Amino acid sequence: MGDGEDLTMDSIKQVSIVLANYCPHCVPFSLRNAERMAKDFGVPLCVLDIEIPEQETVADRLVKEYGDWSEDYLIPQVFVEYVDGRVELVFTGFSEVVSVTETAWYSLFSSDYYQKRRKVRPTSERKSLKEFVKTYLSFNGYCRRHCDDPTSLLSVWSDKENIVGAYVCPSSYVSRVIYFSVKPDLDWFKNFLASQVGEEIVNNRDIRPATRHGWELRNNAADEIGDISPNNKVQEVYWTIYPKTEEAKNQGVFLCSDPKNDRGCHKLFVQDIKSPNTLCPKCR
Ligand SMILES: [Zn+2]
Ligand SMILES: [Zn+2]
Q: Counting runs of H as helices and runs of E as strands, what totals does the chain give? A: 8, 12
71-108 pLDDT, tens per residue? 999 999 999 999 889 999 999 999 999 999 999 998 89
Band of the pLDDT at 6, cuts 50, 70, 90? very low
Closest CA to 141 of 129, 149, 132: 149
Domains by residue range for the chain, with CATH: 6-120 (3.40.30.10), 129-272 (no CATH)
Q: Which ligand is nearest to the CA of 269?
A: 2
* Distance of CA 173 from the midpoint of ligand 1 (Å): 5
* Distance of CA 269 from the midpoint of ligand 2 (Å): 8
* Distance of CA 276 from the midpoint of ligand 2 (Å): 14
Closest CA to 230 of 72, 118, 65, 67: 118
Q: Which ligand is nearest to the CA of 281?
A: 2
* Distance of CA 91 from the midpoint of ligand 1 (Å): 51
Q: Which ligand is nearest to the CA of 145?
A: 1
Q: Is-above-0.75 flag for pTM?
A: no
224-279 pLDDT, tens per residue? 888 888 778 999 999 998 888 888 889 999 999 987 788 899 999 999 999 999 99
* Distance of CA 154 from the midpoint of ligand 2 (Å): 14
* Distance of CA 150 from the midpoint of ligand 1 (Å): 8
Q: Which ligand is nearest to the CA of 171?
A: 1
Closest CA to 91 of 38, 50, 21: 38
